[in-house]
Structure 1
Amino acid sequence: MNSAYVFSWCIVGLAAMASATSEGEAEPTCFSRFDYDYKMLQKLVSLEQTIQNLKDSLAESKNKIEDMSREYELTTKNLQDLLSQTKENIESGSVYIRWGRNECQDNAEIVYKGFTAGKKWNDGGSGGDTICLPEDPSWLNYSTINSPRGTVYGTEINIEEPSGVFEKKVLDQNLPCVACHVKKSSVIMIPGRGHCYTNWNLEYNGYLMADKHSHPTPHNHVCVDHHPDFMQGGGKNNDDHILYLTISKCGSLPCPPYANDRELACVVCSK
């Protein structure tokens, strides 16, 4: 290396030493151009590594943000679907008949009040189901021509008193009914139980009733409230559409869990 070149860098080093000494710093040593270039190269390499680390960190953060964004969108969609389904269930709801009562539970609204009715017990025809006729009928066309028709009668309970089942005397009493709307997606009547299963809500409970087993034609089972209301002016033995308690019979029906000649309970549950 040229001696003049080295000497000039020593002069630079001595000038830097004088400046550092005036500021109370350690005295620098004389260095060559090679030392200077090497140190600068080290700094550049360190700076480049720092920049690369920042780029890697930014890329990682970007990926995390994108993952969080996708997760947020999925969660939002699931919540919107759940909200929509819940709203649909609440707005639609379900309807059931509460047999033997004039009022619905507090959690349900009345669709209409009415009278329990059906075919006469010894008629071979007409409908076989028990129906809830509204107390405020409206008519379309009607005729007084005497031609074959089905018939429908009001309903009364036939049971020996004291029954030991109902809390009050019910013999020959005419039964009301009420249609109830509940803001639940499902409603079920469970025969043979007086209580709902877990996670189901009680609407009402009572006793399973139908026609007498020896009558010529049947009608369907209904769940009559355990504490029934009665229609005003009822109590006469008209022997029209009659409901009887239903009992279990052992044999093909396993006993236990069932018992012979025991009145079956029933419950209406919603969810």
Structure 2
Amino acid sequence: MVAKVFCVTVVVVFFLSARAEADNEPSACKLSTEEQLLDKVIRTEVKVEAMLSEIRKTEENVLSVLEYRKQDVQKTLTELKETNAAEIGQIKGKMESVVKGNSAKMDIGSSYVRWGRTTCPDDNELVYKGYAAGSSYTSKGGAANYICLTEEPQWGFYEESVAAGTQVHGGEYELGDHHADGGSKYFKKNLNDQDAPCSLCRTPRSSVTMIPGRLECFSGWTKEYSGYLAAGASGHASATEFICLDSDAEMISGGAANRDGRLFYLAEVSCGSLQCPPYIEGRELTCVVCSK
């Protein structure tokens, strides 16, 4: 047993002695390993640098491709906008054409009576011309409105021998009572006691209105005709409406006899509840018929 322990001790001492000698003397094998490690490090750095170079090239290529694609996309968008604008223009043109066509089919327009005239403005259609009429100025009842009778009446059943409850009389200009010249300063001719014509006109525009106190239409409206505001006399039994009597009023041929009937007087301003100014006491009021 002692001999065995001794042998083990000798082996350990020998091994430690050999290890110490090896540590005190440089080894060619150890230097070779360091050189190999350094070489590996250098090679790794070279590879990394090469990889970084490739990455930079790839990045440049990607940026170049992206820039090209950006320009391509912008070009495509511009072409699409131009195409869309052209298509929108074509669609708009077709829609306008359809609207115009539908308007023509729907025959949009409106009508009005032109009092004192037998013709209509140039772009209007003359539906018919005839005679201004209404209830007598002496009637306590009857109708308040003026009507425009056609020159070509058509009859249904009638009884000439039976008196009806109301009568229709012809319209007459009544200007001599208040205007010595028979209204020639207003209408370019003496109209006193003359029978009044009228015409039914159709404008191509959809809305029409009479504006009292104006000779011109407001912006966006078309003037059909202008003149002077007229109605029955305030002291007469029969009420009337206000109408616009054309400033170039005509007279019916052969209608100069003073037979009265439905009368036309010029309307003038009476201040009080009516604001003056802008209105002025005693002035005859103008009027204009406008369409849109």
Length-normalised TM-score, structure 2: 0.70
Instruction: Report the equivalent of 1:158.
Output: 174
Aligned residue among 229, 244, 250 for 2:265: 244
1:89 and 1:183 in contact (8 A); partners too:
no
Rounded to whole Å, the distance in 2 between the matches of 1:57 and 1:213 is 82
Does residue 1:222 correspond to 2:236, yes or no? no
Does residue 1:48 correspond to 2:69, yes or no? no
Instruction: Report the equivalent of 1:185.
Output: 206
Map Cα deviations across residues 130-187 of structure 1 (whole Å, 9 max, x no partner).
0111111223333446254321111001112314433211111001101111122322
2:136 and 2:238 in contact (8 A); partners too:
no
Aligned pairs for 1:18-167 (under 5 A) are 42-60=56-74, 91-144=107-160, 146=162, 148-160=164-176, 161-162=180-181, 163=183, 164-167=185-188
Q: Which runs of 5+ in 1 are unaligned?
A: 1-31
Length-normalised TM-score, structure 1: 0.75
Q: Among the aligned pairs, what percent are the same residue?
A: 32
Instruction: Report the equivalent of 1:29.
Output: none
Instruction: Report the equivalent of 2:231.
Output: 210
Aligned residues: 240
Rounded to whole Å, the distance in 2 between the matches of 1:127 and 1:84 is 44
Map Cα deviations across residues 77-110 of structure 1 (whole Å, 9 max, x no partner).
6666666666666741221111000111112121
1:33, CA displacement in angstroms?
A: 9.3
Please identify, of 32-41 and 218-227, the stretch whose mean Cα deviation from structure 2 is larger: 32-41
Q: Which runs of 5+ in 2 are unaligned?
A: 1-45
1:125, CA displacement in angstroms?
A: 2.1
Rounded to whole Å, the distance in 2 between the matches of 1:244 and 1:36 is 109
Instruction: Report the equivalent of 1:168.
Output: 189
Please identify, of 163-172 and 73-82, the stretch whose mean Cα deviation from structure 2 is larger: 73-82
Greater CA radius of gyration, 1 or 2? Answer: 2
After superposition, the CA RMSD in angstroms is: 3.2
